[in-house]
Amino acid sequence: MTGARDIDTGSEKVLFRIEDRVAIVTLNDPENRNPLGYDTRPVLRETIDRVAQDDAVRCLLLTGAGDAFCAGGNAKAMATDEQPPLEERVRGIRFESEVVAVIHEMAKPSIAALPGPAAGAGFSLALACDLRIAAESAFMLTAFARLGLPGDFGGTWLLTQLVGPSRAREIYFSSRRVPADECERLGLVNRVVSRDALESEAMAWARELAAGPPVAFRWMKDNLNRALHSDLRTCLREEAERQCWAAETEDFKEATQAFAAKRPPEFRGR
């Protein structure tokens, strides 16, 4: 295990900690259910960029403080605060919303831990992660139709990939709450646990992934992402190449030696 250290993000609303090669990023405005306000979105984007580029980090764990994951955009502020010009808002949201693409494409696994609701852009953030674990009291909610908005942060693409077009349309058009048990049935979350167990279960899962083979995980994740839009023969061709490349790594040699010695492998990402 490695030591833990807190990293300054420049904002109290986004906390960043690295522990045991896991980057723990926490949205930290629990009184307001951790909304993605104008001040929070660029900080989150910059923090996730740092996680993606840090070779010492092998897994991202994204969560929210208190009893919510993320309430999405701050609707109250949007209604009362003076807004920047339209073109400026579009540029800002395009840059900030690409955080979901960074999470989806980063060469390391990611987990979203949901202590409570994930709504709007928060819903999209959770779906961008590779895996999701939720407290029994958590729920997911697109929320946009209730506000007269079509949605942003890639939720329509991510949800369609996970549950198919018909179910995605139902969830978006209705803006209904999807409780944790239904989220698990639909494949929106992988595991549901008690609220008290969420933090320890999520961290144990993240540590397990962080101890895995970084090179193999990088290509494995890219294979899985490409499978969303590639045909079978293209996937077969790329899998064959990467399988052979991975067999040349020190990690593969270590894994085979560990298997023979009946001990856990120690992957170094080489």
Q: How does pLDDT run across 204-253, given as a tens digit for each residue?
A: 999 999 999 999 999 999 999 999 999 999 999 999 999 998 888 888 88
For 256, the 3-state DSSP assignment is: helix
Task: pLDDT band for 269, please (50, 70, 90 cuts).
Answer: confident
In a domain, 266, yes or no: no
Q: Which of 143, 145, 122 minimizes the C-alpha distance to 134?
A: 122
Instruction: Name the domain count of the chain.
Output: 2
What CATH number is given to the structural domain containing 85?
Answer: 3.90.226.10
The answer on 130 and 227 residing in a single domain is no
Quick check: pTM over 0.75?
yes
The answer on 206 and 119 residing in a single domain is yes
Instruction: Give tens-digit pLDDT for 161-207.
Output: 999 999 999 999 999 999 999 999 999 999 999 999 999 999 999 99
**pLDDT of res. 86:** 76
The answer on 119 and 14 residing in a single domain is yes
The answer on 243 and 188 residing in a single domain is no
The answer on 160 and 50 residing in a single domain is yes
The answer on 98 and 40 residing in a single domain is yes
> Does 80 have pLDDT greater than 70?
no
What's the average model confidence in pLDDT over 128-154? 93
Spatial neighbors of 7 by CB under 8 A, at least 6 apart, are 16, 17, 18, 50
In a domain, 34, yes or no: yes
The answer on 218 and 204 residing in a single domain is no
N-term to C-term CA, the chain: 19
The answer on 115 and 227 residing in a single domain is no
The answer on 235 and 152 residing in a single domain is no
The answer on 193 and 69 residing in a single domain is yes
Spatial neighbors of 259 by CB under 8 A, at least 6 apart, are 265
The answer on 94 and 20 residing in a single domain is yes
In which domain, by residue range, is 131 found?
5-210
In a domain, 270, yes or no: no
In a domain, 17, yes or no: yes
Q: H/E/C letters for each residue in 218-240?
A: HHHHHHHHHCCCCCHHHHHHHHH
In a domain, 267, yes or no: no
The answer on 233 and 203 residing in a single domain is no
What CATH number is given to the structural domain containing 224?
Answer: 1.10.12.10
